């Protein structure tokens, strides 16, 4: 069997396995699984809507996956091409044990997918560490980017780090708690929202579906470790370059939709976005936490529709 045929057979098997795994949440996440090869493994993504339409590209953070953007995919794919990926190590993407999970590598993987799909006229929808990854990609491919939509995220350096996250960075004990006791992804449905009753059981199940075992949580540990707080950190230079590149996007249509009760990406981060993009249209969701897309989905969709109307 040729290498190409072997690859196609492997991809079919991978797709069938993904379909089976998604069966319990099919009502919430009814999209066709797709895969793209990058250094280190294959990343999973969904790609819905007219192929020639303007693109909405959704970039998640930690510890979520493309499931977080399912409502956006459903609401916008009738008119736009909506693509949402899972970073390597996350969601239904492969989870290699010998991979360097850095900001730069995640951005390069995103770029690889965008180039392979030939995506143009992109509006980036970014959440959590997806802001840094998305803008790190954008500085490499600025001509492809037409608009920015940021939700409880950052793409600039900060010394802020809540104690809950600092604990997860403590040597030995932090990774142990995250991997063996699921003390990050497992608690996200609780601490990611302002109202703990706002998430239904199927949604909680969907959020945690890819992170049910210790081995599947490796990238979560690495994401936490990859937050740069000093110039000695491996991702400091990449985040610094990304921050310095924000200026070139000031003329684009920009919207911010913020869960104001977020204990991690607090309103102080929103204020920093507003300082850098003073023309941004801001939606403040006063009773929503970090998972603003779960607690205020109507506000998110309304803000994104308004932005898309302004994107050339």
Given the residues 47, 86, 128, 226, select the one marked as catalytic: 128
Distance (Å, whole) CA 143 – CA 39? 24
In this prediction, residue 14 has a pLDDT band, given cuts at 50, 70 and 90, of confident
Write the pLDDT tens digit of every residue in 225-273.
999 999 999 999 999 999 999 999 999 999 999 999 999 999 999 999 9
**Rg, the chain, Cα only:** 18
Q: According to the model, what pLDDT value does residue 4 have?
A: 57
- Dihedral (CA of 54, 69, 191, 257) sign: positive
User: The CATH number of the domain where 86 resides is what?
Assistant: 3.40.50.1820
Q: According to the model, what pLDDT value does residue 9 have?
A: 64
For residue 66, what is the DSSP state? G
Domain that holds residue 60: 3-310
Concatenate the DSSP letters of all residues of 206-258 into one string. Answer: HHHGGG-SSGGGHHHHHHHHT---STTSTTHHHHHHHHHHGGGGTTS-EEEEE
Residues linked to residue 35 through DSSP beta bridges, in sequence order: 44
Distance (Å, whole) CA 53 – CA 117? 13
Structural domains counted in the chain: 1
Q: According to the model, what pLDDT value does residue 7 have?
A: 63
Q: According to the model, what pLDDT value does residue 11 have?
A: 75
Mean residue pLDDT of the chain comes to 95
Any catalytic annotation for residue 128?
A: yes
Least confident of 14-18, 54-58, 305-309: 14-18
Q: According to the model, what pLDDT value does residue 12 have?
A: 81
Question: What is the phi-psi region of residue 56: left when phi exceeds 0, alpha when psi lies from -120 to 50, beta otherwise?
Answer: beta
Any catalytic annotation for residue 194?
A: no
Write the pLDDT tens digit of every residue in 190-213.
999 999 899 999 999 999 999 999
What value does the mean pLDDT take over residues 97-103?
Answer: 96
Q: Are 146 and 122 in contact (CB under 8 A)?
A: yes
Any catalytic annotation for residue 290?
A: yes
| Tokens describing residue 242 | 């990304």
Given the residues 262, 279, 298, 306, select the one marked as catalytic: 262
């Amino acid at each position: 069997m040729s290498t190409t045929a072997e690859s196609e057979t492997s991809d079919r098997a991978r797709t069938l396995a993904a379909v089976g795994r998604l069966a319990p949440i099919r009502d919430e996440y009814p999209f066709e699984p797709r895969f793209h090869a990058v250094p280190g493994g294959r990343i999973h993504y969904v790609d819905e809507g007219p192929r020639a339409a303007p693109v909405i590209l959704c970039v998640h953070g930690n510890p979520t996956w493309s499931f977080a953007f399912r409502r956006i995919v459903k609401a916008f794919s009738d008119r736009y091409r909506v693509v949402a990926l899972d970073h390597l190590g996350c969601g239904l993407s492969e989870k290699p044990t010998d991979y360097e999970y850095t900001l730069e590598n995640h951005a390069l993987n995103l770029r690889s997918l965008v180039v392979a799909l030939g995506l143009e006229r992109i509006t980036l929808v970014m959440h959590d560490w997806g802001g840094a990854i998305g803008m790190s990609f954008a500085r490499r491919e600025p001509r492809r980017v037409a608009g920015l939509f940021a939700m409880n995220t950052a793409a600039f350096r900060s010394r802020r780090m809540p104690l809950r996250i600092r604990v997860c960075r403590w040597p030995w004990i932090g990774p142990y708690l995250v991997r063996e006791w699921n003390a990050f992804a497992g608690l996200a449905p609780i601490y990611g929202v302002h109202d703990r009753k706002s998430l239904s059981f199927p949604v909680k199940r969907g959020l945690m579906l890819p992170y049910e075992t210790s081995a599947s949580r490796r990238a979560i540990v690495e994401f936490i470790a990859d937050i740069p707080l000093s110039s000695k950190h491996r991702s400091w230079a990449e985040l610094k370059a990304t921050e310095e590149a924000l200026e070139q996007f000031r003329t684009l249509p920009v919207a911010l939709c913020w869960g104001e009760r977020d204990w991690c990406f607090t309103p102080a981060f929103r204020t920093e976005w507003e300082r850098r993009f003073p023309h941004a249209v801001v939606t403040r969701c006063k009773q929503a936490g970090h998972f603003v897309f779960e607690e205020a989905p109507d506000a998110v969709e309304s803000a994104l529709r308004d932005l898309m109307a302004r994107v050339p």
